[in-house]
Structure 1
Amino acid sequence: MKLQDRVAIITGGASGIGRGIAHAMAKEGAKVVIVDVNNEGGLATEKELNEIGQGKFIKADITNQAELKRIVDETVQAFGTVHILVNNAHVSKQVMLTETTPEDLALSFNTSFYPTFHLMQHCYPYLKENKGSVINFASGAGLSGMPTQGAYGAAKEAIRGLSRVAANEWGVDGINVNLISPIANSPGVQKWSEYFPAEYEAMINGIPLKRMGDCEQDIGRVAVFLASDDASYMTGQTLMVDGGSIMLR
């Protein structure tokens, strides 16, 4: 039980990678708070987590800064503190750069970079007290410059920069800040594969391990590692959990 009695906040936890991480952490003894706008999915995941251990769903719009403080306050009210912050949520549109609008940029940054930044600020006192962990999310779209992913890649790279600064500033407090860059068989990817089977097959063939990652077993287990004492001497790092698609040098 690597995370016994530790309290984790996971944004975008109602489905996909967020849900996978929530399950993986709950199975290691964490008390897991999932945050999402999807009420039905959030309540269903909360029920699943409570069958494993302890879970709580907070319905919130993370584009609203006032909601971010409420998330932390309700977590502390329910479980006493915060040990782990997982900033997973992100919404973005896929369009070419010449067609990207200010609204497209705002959507990407308002659902990812700004909530990540402000939740880190709100959680800082508790993370400092507990020598806790922050897990943020990068993407191969930003690292490789994937076409149609200008707004998404820009926000992800901004999060990487923010994470490295936090790793340097908060290291003295015993807080580690790392990133996961995943490829996973999320519901969104599954739906995309139905509409674009040839592109999906090409993507699988481009992965050295020749398969999509599992949200819980592949991505969730790495998140457990980063939040555990096993990773206490790691900070400021981007872990490519993508089957070898991008090999950092």
Structure 2
Amino acid sequence: MVSLIFLMAVLVLPFVVLIVVLTTVAPAVARRERARTAALHQWAMANGWTFTPSCQPPWTAHLPGRNHRGLGATLIGQIGGRRVIVSEYSYSTTSSSGDTTTTSTHHFIVVAVLLDRMHPPVSVRRTPGALAVFARKLFGQSPAPTGDPVFDSFFRIDSADPNHARSLVGPQLMHAHVTGGLPPWQIVGSELLTCTPTSGRIHDPNLVFAYAGPTVHVAELLGR
């Protein structure tokens, strides 16, 4: 009889733990998420911005992981007369080792700044490895050396129109990259995009201007 009771307890215990988790932990997580999004919404209203819990712009295809459903909390407003989007973005990867499967979620802050016109695809990033170079050549993007030996040693401009790309990346923008402070960026259509790794989602709305500042600075330096 004792053995039977013990066996039943072992079988029932996981279900008891699951019920406790569902009735205590899950509601607490939901409350924290509601409080987080409410704070973002209140900040947006107080600063003349717009908040949306998610969006699906076409340029997500150009972000790491290409997760078209990866954008979460999004804030849209104006900085220096330019329309700016600041959004949290994530995608997941899965790896296996023997019988163990691990899922990792990668978090980013994406900033999109609307430019005054459409452009051919252009990107600036630190000099990539040989595999990345091959991939860009495969998809029609060519490097556009600037003639500045310091900039060209550490950064690479890729574009389907190298001459146009060089006209956008002038001495002031190259200097700002070399001296630090500017993230890698790309232009998709009429929007300038940056995608910066972060530890999680947007929790402090007061950091929105700090997130957006470097990308807006790139926009201001285009062609200079």
TM-score, length of structure 2 as denominator length: 0.26
TM-score, length of structure 1 as denominator length: 0.24
Higher relative contact order (CA 8 A, sep 6+): 1
**Structure index of larger Rg:** 2
